Structure 1
Amino acid sequence: MRVFDVEQGSSPVILAFPHTGTDVPDDICEKLNDNGKILADTDWHIHRLYDGLLPGVTTVRALFHRYVIDANRDPSGQSLYPGQNTTGLVPVTDFDGNPIWQDGQEPDANEVSRRQQQFHTPYHAALKAEIARVKAIHGVAVLYDCHSIRSHIPFLFDGKLPDFNIGTDNGTTCEPRIEQAVVGVCGNAAGFTSVLNGRFRGGWTTRHYANPAQNIHTVQMELAQSTHLAREEPPFDYDETVAAPLRAHLKTILQNIEKIAFDLAKGN
């Protein structure tokens, strides 16, 4: 099976999709329990949501499911959010804290290592290569990491999640103007709620690749799935009518980021 898909563009902006893939090899799928086979924690339809919003954008998309291995987790296994409920490099539960593997079929350390080599490492090699390519062209690269999650998950957070969850690891992963531009659009989006560096302040991808001093800037956007799905339960259908207002705001965000990136390339 293919591990990732890359579409190279001419923009200084790169979109990463670590969690939209639904491919699970047969030898892994047969070890999932009925709950795990639902693949509930997919970032459903996010690549479709962003499709066509920014001409010339580069995209890097993992095709494997996060239950195979999570492409947005530290390969060392270190938690991104110490002291808080979360899922690991290879999850053993879903976002509700329920087991996803059949009894006795949870992957051991050797299996995790195998999956890392087969899936996690190639995806990040592709992402790293695109960052280098884009930066070589423009002198600057902005990695925008695309995510979504159900708006109510008591195991992970209290209450209802804001619609836009912007992550810059407390302002360390990007030029302040980029953060301000994203916050500005989200804060002025009528009918939508937003937060900066709240429950999700940026995963491993956002933190690992960020190097603003070298003109590599990163932002994570975690969207509540209520903003673009017909319902946040199986079959997790995409709703074009519901998604249309969101797409308009996301388009503005990406356009603003690109403009700032071009300014940075000029030394402004």
Structure 2
Amino acid sequence: MTPVEVFEGDSPLILGLPHTGTDLLPEIFAKLTPRGQLLADTDWHIHTLYEGLIPDATTVRATFHRYVIDANRPPDGESLYPGQNTTGLVPLTDFDGEPLWLTAPDAAEIDARRQAYHAPYHAALAAQVARVKARHGVAILYDCHSIRSRIPYLFDGVLPDFNIGTVGGTSCDPLIESQVSDHCTEAMGYTAILNGRFKGGWTTRHYGHPAQGVHAIQMELAQSTHLATEAPPFAYDRAKAEALRHHLRAILGDLVALAPKLRAATR
């Protein structure tokens, strides 16, 4: 199993896709509980949702499932949200707080997974960030995510449709933050929040260094915006998706258009 798929584009935009993969080795799949084997916490169809929106965008996609190891968590396992319910580097529970493993992986197995999956994904992503920045003088990393809109274990009530994370404004230039936030807030029929429950995972925090010309922003979409149902079989709703893709295309296009200003600001 190849842990990461890369498409090298010519634009300053990179799409990170750490949670769309559903691949698990049979021996790992067999260790999951029946509930875990549903793979319910997948970012369902996100790679399809973003496909072709910006043809020249670079994409870096993890093919392995987040239950194997989470590519958007720190490799040392430190919590991204201390004091809040969350899932770890190798999650022991699902998003509802239910156990995932018949026998939880030990430290040696977690380390083996880190080397086999987490490290190759981030080596590929780091290489693309460096390549794009060398070509354009700036790199814009847009990390693509989705999650069920109602998960009491993680948050109260209903999640907004667009959840924008910039780690409190530190992971990208203010122009990026305001451009994306303004578009999402003004999108008719959708709700949006900036740096709410999801402020940006490890990818956004690790790579976002605007003073160095690398800008990172996370977009967590409520799955109700593009799925027929947020339960098995998690089917893709093409009508919903096309309406959403209209906004995503505009957001990504605006980010590409900002690149010259961002490049000038880092000189």
- Equivalent residue runs for 1:119-134 within 5 Å: 119-134=117-132
Q: Deviations over 1:170-207 (max 9, x none)?
A: 00000000000000110110000000000000000000
* Equivalent-residue separation in structure 2 for 1:149 and 1:159 (angstroms): 14
Q: 1:264 deviation in Å?
A: 2.0
* Equivalent-residue separation in structure 2 for 1:16 and 1:34 (angstroms): 29
* Equivalent-residue separation in structure 2 for 1:236 and 1:156 (angstroms): 20
Normalised TM-score (structure 2): 0.98
* Equivalent-residue separation in structure 1 for 2:99 and 2:264 (angstroms): 51
* Equivalent-residue separation in structure 2 for 1:41 and 1:163 (angstroms): 17
Q: 1:265 deviation in Å?
A: 2.4
- Residue aligning to 2:3: 3
Q: Can you give the 5+ residue segments of structure 2 that lack an aligned partner in the other structure?
A: none
- Which of 181, 184, 195 matches 1:183? 181
Structure 2 counterpart SS, 1:5: strand
The one-letter amino acid of 2:44's match is W
- Residue aligning to 1:34: 34
Q: Can you give the 5+ residue segments of structure 1 that lack an aligned partner in the other structure?
A: none
- Residue aligning to 1:198: 196
Aligned 8 A contact 2:17 2:61 in 1: yes
- Residue aligning to 2:260: 262
- Equivalent residue runs for 1:209-248 within 5 Å: 209-248=207-246
Q: What stretches of structure 1 move > 6 A for 4+ residues in a row?
A: none
1:266–1:55 CA distance, 2 compared to 1 (3 A): farther
Q: 1:126 deviation in Å?
A: 0.1
* Equivalent-residue separation in structure 2 for 1:49 and 1:118 (angstroms): 27
Structure 2 counterpart SS, 1:98: coil
The one-letter amino acid of 1:95's match is F
- Residue aligning to 1:101: 101
- Residue aligning to 1:167: 165
- Residue aligning to 2:64: 64
Q: 1:160 deviation in Å?
A: 0.1
Identical pairs, percent: 63
Structure 1 counterpart SS, 2:114: helix
Normalised TM-score (structure 1): 0.98
Q: 1:266 deviation in Å?
A: 4.1
The one-letter amino acid of 2:220's match is E
Q: 1:267 deviation in Å?
A: 4.4
- Residue aligning to 1:148: 146
Structure 2 counterpart SS, 1:94: coil
Aligned 8 A contact 1:12 1:262 in 2: no
